[in-house]
């Protein structure tokens, strides 16, 4: 789809969820696109909008109400063929049969399993069944059937090894078999599935698993830090080599043994340096103490010394230990990667050593240094060093970005935030065509039944036949039906290809649902509703059934224990952990919990957000370590990468949601401090430098939203 070069008028469209109650209509975003220098010049010269093609929401028919019970019965092995036949006309009939068949794979007749696979060849349900069926018939040693069903596209290592066994059982060992077996042997330094043991043993018996191949995989295991695999490989080596291989593995487990007897070879240096680098993660002091002796004994060069010194420095500075600066200075420049370069900046920031922080930023490669994060901190350190002019120029570069650092930079310059929305410009007919796709229908109905893994399989199958325009429309259809995370997982980075312009699809990437509940509970708890919406976007992407590995549940990912505690403090009846899957309950308890954290941590949202992600213990440690540091510097020096990025992400999302909710935004620098009644600012789409002949176009608020805070 070509991007429009016009500023479009507002579009309002209502969204409804087929599974869960909506409390209000979703309001779409005003769209405006700048598509290169010529388009930008035309836009500033002639801002008159063109008509926008409006597309109504398309609701996919909900699955038969009896299907949920049928799927549950099938998953328990309790759905007979007669009951199954009653759903044969349903779009999900094949998935229901799949659910039934997979419970009887060990005894399923070959004719029945093969017939299902043939009937659904090339479909998502067929692909899901195929691998499970192949594993089942491999257990039965039904090798001719296994080979007949084999598909060259299968990349599962266990099944590939089963195929080698099938070929061997069929007396079909040839040069290709040998090459395939050797390729699997060298495919990973980590443990391979047990089904690979037999073909590897046969490969060795045929004299085609040489010592060189064994050492080659041993080196892979060293690089992957897998001492157990190293020992397993050693068992096939000659006695002298096996003894040395086992010594290498022992050093990995406990790197304090003498190295005097080791050969002074590249492999010995690799093993010793990798083992010491691994040790540095848990015991940097011990690794530093052992390094000089190992380096002298094995004649380490800069690569080996750098590998160890870099890890010693990393795991020291990540905890801001006293030796951080010295250990960073000891790392040769060749051993710095992007991560350690960033930590060099953070370490200087924690010491308020602005020249050192700026020098560290200047040592970054161009791509890293020109990221909005480091443009902003280069500006900040310039400013803190007294170079106002240099700071202003760098802030101006950063402020062109629609992200946390761009918003902070815009605040420093007292200018509007950068935002260039793009509204999909496609016909209702084009959208309807996408919605009619059988794979799309199945994907959405599976999602409605909370069969998300299967839904994603059908979704990917649908997208495989779509153009980029259709993929974007598919995201819109998914959101019409309450599947909001497709705006995160099916835009920008898709199938190994990047679509940077899709970052501007703010309506799809930042869905807004349960708006009335969000506003009500934010008001009740004296919170900014944009923050509550941003938390939901960051935690669950508006999926009320989301559940984490830690058992956090619902929109705001509230733990049952936390929910019970908050409910008790509010005097509300506690309906148990499953009540957190109710959107209204979750927003009520999650918002109240944010208020409790605000009261506990002095009304500082940036610290509350960090605690919401990492928990109270790490937060208390970070607060005690850096009590008086500015908020932006405090966030950047958080020790956990996940939390550091989470805080910046939630605050950035809050600014976008403020625009969605209100048409303008609270200053992010005020939001950091918990100020909710400060001055507000607008948004504009920056014009490329080459065509700056007029003032940049101002971005209007979304339709029917107040331009001033009520």
Q: In the predicted model, is pLDDT for residue 53 greater than 70?
A: no
Q: In the predicted model, is pLDDT for residue 698 greater than 70?
A: no
Q: CA dist 617 to 184, 539, 622, Å?
A: 45, 20, 9
Count the alpha carbons within 13 Å of 181 in the hemisphere toward its beta carbon: 30
Report the distance separating Cα 479 and Cα 481, nearest Å. Answer: 5
Per residue in 641-670, pLDDT (tens digit) is 999 999 999 999 999 999 999 999 999 999
Q: CA dist 34 to 41, 42, 388, 692, Å?
A: 9, 9, 31, 13
* pLDDT the model gives residue 19: 34
Report the distance separating Cα 612 and Cα 577, nearest Å. Answer: 18
* pLDDT the model gives residue 689: 61
Which pLDDT band, with edges at 50, 70 and 90, does 289 fall under?
A: very high
* pLDDT the model gives residue 627: 87
Number of H helices, E strands in the chain: 38, 7
Q: What is the mean pLDDT of residues 458-468?
A: 97
Tokens 């092995």 appear where?
77
Per residue in 91-102, pLDDT (tens digit) is 999 999 999 999
Report the distance separating Cα 216 and Cα 228, nearest Å. Answer: 16
Percent pLDDT > 90 in the chain is 87
Q: In the predicted model, is pLDDT for residue 145 greater than 70?
A: yes
Q: Is the separation of the CB atoms in 288 and 258 below 8 Å?
A: no
The stretches of 124-210 forming alpha helices (DSSP H) are: 124-139, 143-149, 157-169, 175-185, 197-205
Per residue in 535-566, pLDDT (tens digit) is 999 999 999 999 999 999 999 999 999 999 99
Q: Is the separation of the CB atoms in 11 and 52 below 8 Å?
A: yes
For the chain, the straight-line distance linking the first and the last C-alpha, in angstroms and rounded, comes to 38
Q: In the predicted model, is pLDDT for residue 621 greater than 80?
A: yes
Report the distance separating Cα 462 and Cα 456, nearest Å. Answer: 10
* pLDDT the model gives residue 377: 98
Q: By C-alpha distance, which of 47, 44, 38, 29 is closest to 3?
A: 38
Which pLDDT band, with edges at 50, 70 and 90, does 691 fall under?
A: low
Q: β-strand 497-498 against 493-494: which pairing, if any?
A: antiparallel
* pLDDT the model gives residue 222: 97
Q: In the predicted model, is pLDDT for residue 15 greater than 70?
A: no
Q: Write out the two tokens for 96.
A: 């229901």
Q: In the predicted model, is pLDDT for residue 292 greater than 70?
A: yes
Q: Is the dihedral of CA 372, 374, 377, 378 positive or negative?
A: negative
Q: Write out the two tokens for 432.
A: 């309807």
Per residue in 472-510, pLDDT (tens digit) is 999 999 999 999 999 999 999 998 999 999 999 999 999
Which pLDDT band, with edges at 50, 70 and 90, does 690 fall under?
A: low
Which pLDDT band, with edges at 50, 70 and 90, does 625 fall under?
A: confident
β partners of residue 553: 547, 558
* pLDDT the model gives residue 103: 93
Q: In the predicted model, is pLDDT for residue 13 greater than 50?
A: no
Report the distance separating Cα 377 and Cα 381, nearest Å. Answer: 6
Neighbours of 170 (CB within 10 A): 12
For 423, which DSSP code? Answer: -
Which pLDDT band, with edges at 50, 70 and 90, does 699 fall under?
A: low
Q: Write out the two tokens for 374.
A: 């480091």
Q: In the predicted model, is pLDDT for residue 50 greater than 90?
A: no
Q: β-strand 665-666 against 683-684: which pairing, if any?
A: unpaired
Q: In the predicted model, is pLDDT for residue 468 greater than 80?
A: yes
Burial classification of residue 477, based on how many CB atoms lie within 10 Å of its CB (0-12 exposed, 13-18 middle, 19 or more buried): buried
Contacts 24+ apart (CB under 8 A), 37-46: 37/688, 37/690, 37/691, 39/3, 39/5, 40/687, 40/688, 40/691, 41/691, 41/693, 42/5, 43/5, 43/6, 43/7, 43/697, 44/687, 44/691, 44/693, 44/694, 44/695, 44/696, 44/697, 45/694
Burial classification of residue 174, based on how many CB atoms lie within 10 Å of its CB (0-12 exposed, 13-18 middle, 19 or more buried): exposed
* pLDDT the model gives residue 487: 96
Per residue in 363-405, pLDDT (tens digit) is 999 999 999 999 999 999 999 999 999 999 999 999 999 999 9
Which pLDDT band, with edges at 50, 70 and 90, does 32 fall under?
A: very low
* pLDDT the model gives residue 525: 97
Which pLDDT band, with edges at 50, 70 and 90, does 6 fall under?
A: very low
Per residue in 233-263, pLDDT (tens digit) is 999 999 999 999 999 999 999 998 789 999 9
Report the distance separating Cα 233 and Cα 214, nearest Å. Answer: 6
Average pLDDT, the chain: 90
């Amino acid at each position: 789809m070509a991007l429009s070069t016009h500023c479009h008028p507002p579009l309002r469209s209502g969204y409804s969820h087929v599974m869960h109650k909506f409390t209000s209509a979703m309001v779409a975003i005003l769209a405006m696109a700048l598509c290169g220098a010529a388009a930008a010049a035309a836009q500033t010269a002639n801002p008159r909008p063109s008509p926008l093609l409006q597309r109504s929401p398309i609701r996919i028919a909900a699955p038969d109400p009896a299907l949920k019970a049928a799927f549950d019965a099938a998953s328990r092995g309790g759905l007979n063929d007669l009951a199954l036949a009653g759903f044969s006309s349903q779009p999900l009939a094949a998935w229901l049969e799949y659910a039934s068949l997979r419970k009887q794979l060990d005894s399923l007749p070959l004719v029945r399993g093969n017939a299902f696979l043939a009937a659904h060849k090339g479909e998502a349900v067929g692909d899901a069944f195929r691998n499970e069926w192949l594993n089942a018939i491999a257990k039965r040693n039904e090798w001719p059937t296994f080979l007949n069903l084999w598909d060259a596209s299968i990349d599962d290592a266990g099944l590939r090894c089963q195929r080698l066994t099938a070929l061997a059982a069929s007396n079909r060992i040839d040069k290709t078999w040998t090459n395939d077996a050797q390729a699997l042997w060298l495919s990973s330094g980590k443990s391979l599935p047990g089904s690979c043991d037999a073909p590897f043993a046969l490969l060795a018996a045929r004299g085609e698993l040489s010592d060189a191949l064994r050492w080659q995989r041993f080196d892979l295991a060293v690089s992957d830090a897998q001492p157990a695999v190293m020992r397993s490989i050693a068992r096939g080596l000659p006695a002298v080599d096996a003894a040395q291989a086992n010594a290498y593995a022992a050093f990995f487990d406990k790197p304090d043994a003498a190295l005097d007897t080791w050969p002074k070879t590249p492999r010995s240096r690799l093993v010793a340096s990798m083992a010491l680098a691994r040790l540095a993660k848990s015991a940097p002091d011990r690794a530093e103490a052992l390094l000089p002796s190992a380096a002298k004994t094995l004649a380490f060069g800069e690569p080996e010394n750098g590998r160890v010194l870099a890890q010693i420095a990393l795991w020291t500075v990540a905890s801001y230990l006293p030796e951080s600066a010295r250990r960073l200075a000891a790392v040769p420049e060749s051993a710095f990667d992007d991560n350690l370069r960033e930590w060099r900046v953070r370490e200087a920031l924690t010491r308020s050593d602005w020249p050192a922080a700026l020098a560290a930023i200047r040592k970054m490669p161009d791509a890293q240094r020109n990221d909005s994060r480091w443009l902003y901190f280069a500006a900040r350190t310039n400013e803190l060093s007294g170079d106002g002019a240099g700071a202003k120029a760098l802030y101006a570069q950063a402020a062109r970005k629609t992200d946390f650092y761009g918003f902070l930079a815009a605040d420093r310059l007292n200018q509007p935030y950068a935002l260039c929305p793009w509204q999909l410009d496609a016909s209702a007919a084009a959208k309807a065509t996408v919605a009619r796709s059988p794979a799309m229908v199945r994907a959405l109905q599976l999602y409605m039944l909370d069969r998300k893994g299967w839904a994603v399989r059908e979704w990917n199958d649908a997208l495989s036949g779509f153009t980029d325009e259709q993929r974007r429309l598919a995201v819109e259809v998914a959101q019409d039906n309450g599947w909001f995370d497709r705006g995160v997982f099916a835009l920008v980075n898709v199938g190994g290809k990047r679509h940077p312009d899709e970052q501007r699809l703010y309506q799809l990437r930042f869905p807004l649902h349960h708006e009335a509940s969000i506003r009500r509970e934010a008001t009740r708890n004296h919170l900014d509703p944009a923050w509550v919406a941003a938390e939901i976007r960051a935690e669950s992407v508006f999926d009320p059934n989301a559940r984490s590995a830690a058992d956090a549940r619902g929109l705001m990912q509230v733990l049952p224990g936390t929910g019970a505690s908050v409910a008790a403090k509010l005097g509300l009846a506690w309906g148990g952990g499953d009540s957190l899957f109710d959107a209204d309950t979750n927003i009520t308890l999650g918002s109240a919990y944010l208020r409790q954290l605000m009261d506990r941590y002095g009304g500082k949202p940036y610290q509350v957000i960090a605690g919401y992600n990492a928990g109270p213990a790490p937060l208390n440690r970070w607060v005690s370590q850096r009590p008086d540091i500015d908020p932006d510097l405090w966030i950047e020096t958080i020790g956990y990468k996940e939390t550091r990025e989470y805080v910046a992400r939630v605050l950035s999302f809050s600014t976008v949601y403020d625009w969605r909710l209100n048409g303008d935004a609270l200053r992010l620098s005020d939001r950091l401090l918990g100020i909710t009644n400060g001055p507000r600012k607008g948004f504009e789409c920056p014009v490329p430098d080459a065509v700056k002949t007029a003032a940049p176009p101002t971005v209007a608020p979304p339709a029917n939203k107040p331009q001033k805070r009520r």
